[in-house]
């Protein structure tokens, strides 16, 4: 039985997932999983700067088009991630030293890409992971990136402004991780996000949403009260809360499926309780759908070498208990 029966279909939060276009070839069952279960299907990587424009002279829209067309052909919405991300700045951009040239390239990129997908994407992660990883320890609020070094904190405003120009209807979001947990480090990260939102608004620059990535960890404590407060604080500023990259990183539970799935269900349930305490989040997106393909398998594999189970469907594409909660 559904663990959260009160969430009838009609009131369900729109559910989405990121798809890897390179896995779509001939993978009928993989593709069908998104068709069957998602309201929104978005490219996991194809809209990142380095993949869209790997050299100054090369634009590569085909992979992103493929996902967006797939979404539209199946009656799904889609969204874009991301214009500004330290992990996706191409080398040719990083070689630009002049601030005015860097600004020109950033605006050109966002305006061209935003315009190209206008009307096809409900929104964009305009900036991704701009908050310092550990602000208290590093004694800085923003992450040290090419964009920060070259343009300063104003690169955030520049990006949001360009995104709004390019696609006035798109929901423009700031997206970040580690906004879900208990502790001074995480409190500080939430505080920094709120202050970026206020600074943009004070400058009359539109920001519509904050994306919590929602990479949950078995060894981090979800702070229900802090998430609730954060949600209310954002709402008071007129900014929506989205969950953009939900999955579960569990290097701790016993390796068997039952133990891992029990841990995941408890974490997701607690996270949903925190999100729903105030009001329904606008959107809930998982970072993939099946354990067969997840960045966790490469980036944060279990130390015991056993298979991870980060996503709502297992390697055989069967739903796990926590999928019923969504």
Footprint on this chain of ligand XIL (rule: CB under 6 A): 44-45, 128-129, 213, 245, 295
Q: How far is the CB of 48 from ligand XIL (least distance, A)?
A: 7
Residue 52, beta-bridge partner list? none
- Nearer to ligand XIL by C-beta: 103 or 128? 128
- Nearer to ligand XIL by C-beta: 103 or 246? 246
Q: How far is the CB of 275 from ligand XIL (least distance, A)?
A: 19
| Pair of tokens at residue 225 | 């009260």
Q: How far is the CB of 24 from ligand XIL (least distance, A)?
A: 14
Give CB contacts under 8 A, 24+ apart, made by 103-110.
103/151, 103/155, 103/158, 106/147, 106/151, 106/155, 106/158, 106/159, 106/162, 107/158, 107/162, 109/49, 109/52, 109/53, 109/83, 110/83, 110/159, 110/162, 110/163, 110/166
Q: How far is the CB of 299 from ligand XIL (least distance, A)?
A: 8
Half-sphere exposure of 159 (CA within 13 A, CB side): 25
CA 239 – CA 186 distance, rounded (Å)? 20
- Nearer to ligand XIL by C-beta: 80 or 135? 80
CA 179 – CA 74 distance, rounded (Å)? 33
Alpha helix ranges (H) inside the chain: 28-37, 49-52, 62-73, 91-94, 99-116, 135-138, 146-151, 154-166, 184-202, 224-236, 257-276, 295-299
CB 17 within 8 A of CB 289: yes
Q: How far is the CB of 45 from ligand XIL (least distance, A)?
A: 5
Residue 212, beta-bridge partner list? 176, 243
Q: How far is the CB of 289 from ligand XIL (least distance, A)?
A: 13
Q: How far is the CB of 124 from ligand XIL (least distance, A)?
A: 13
- Nearer to ligand XIL by C-beta: 46 or 275? 46
| Residue least distant from ligand XIL (Cβ) | 295
Token pair 């939060």 in the structure block, residue: 13
- Nearer to ligand XIL by C-beta: 80 or 281? 80
Q: How far is the CB of 285 from ligand XIL (least distance, A)?
A: 11
Q: Who's near 322: CB < 8 A, 6+ residues apart? A: 3, 248, 261, 264, 265, 268, 269, 312
CB 199 within 8 A of CB 130: no
């Amino acid at each position: 039985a559904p663990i959260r029966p009160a969430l009838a279909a009609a009131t369900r939060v729109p559910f989405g997932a990121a798809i890897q276009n390179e896995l779509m070839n001939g993978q009928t069952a993989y593709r069908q999983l998104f068709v069957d279960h998602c309201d929104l299907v978005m490219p996991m990587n194809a809209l990142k700067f380095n993949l869209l424009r790997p050299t100054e002279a090369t634009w590569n829209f085909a992979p992103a088009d493929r996902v967006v067309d797939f979404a539209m052909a199946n009656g799904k919405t889609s969204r874009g991630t991301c214009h500004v991300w330290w992990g996706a700045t191409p080398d040719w951009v990083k070689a630009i030293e002049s601030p005015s040239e860097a600004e020109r390239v950033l605006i050109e990129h966002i305006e061209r890409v935003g315009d190209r997908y206008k009307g096809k994407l409900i929104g964009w992660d305009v900036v991704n992971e701009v908050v310092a990883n550990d602000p208290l320890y590093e004694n800085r609020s923003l992450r040290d990136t090419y964009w920060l070094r070259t343009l300063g904190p104003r690169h955030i405003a520049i990006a949001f402004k360009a995104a709004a120009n390019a696609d006035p209807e798109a929901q423009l979001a700031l997206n970040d991780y580690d906004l879900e947990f208990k502790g001074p480090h995480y409190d500080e990260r939430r505080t920094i996000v709120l202050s970026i939102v206020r600074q943009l608004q004070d400058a009359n620059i539109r920001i519509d949403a904050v994306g919590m990535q929602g990479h949950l960890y078995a060894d981090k404590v979800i702070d229900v009260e802090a998430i609730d407060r954060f949600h209310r604080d954002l709402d008071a500023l007129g900014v929506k809360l989205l969950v953009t990259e939900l999955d579960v990183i569990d290097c701790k539970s016993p390796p068997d499926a039952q133990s891992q799935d029990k841990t995941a269900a408890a974490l997701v349930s607690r996270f949903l309780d925190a999100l729903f305490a105030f009001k329904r989040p606008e959107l809930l997106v998982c970072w993939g759908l099946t354990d067969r393909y997840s960045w966790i398998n490469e980036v944060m594999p279990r130390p015991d070498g056993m298979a991870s189970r980060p996503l709502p469907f297992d390697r055989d594409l069967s739903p796990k208990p926590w999928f019923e909660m969504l």
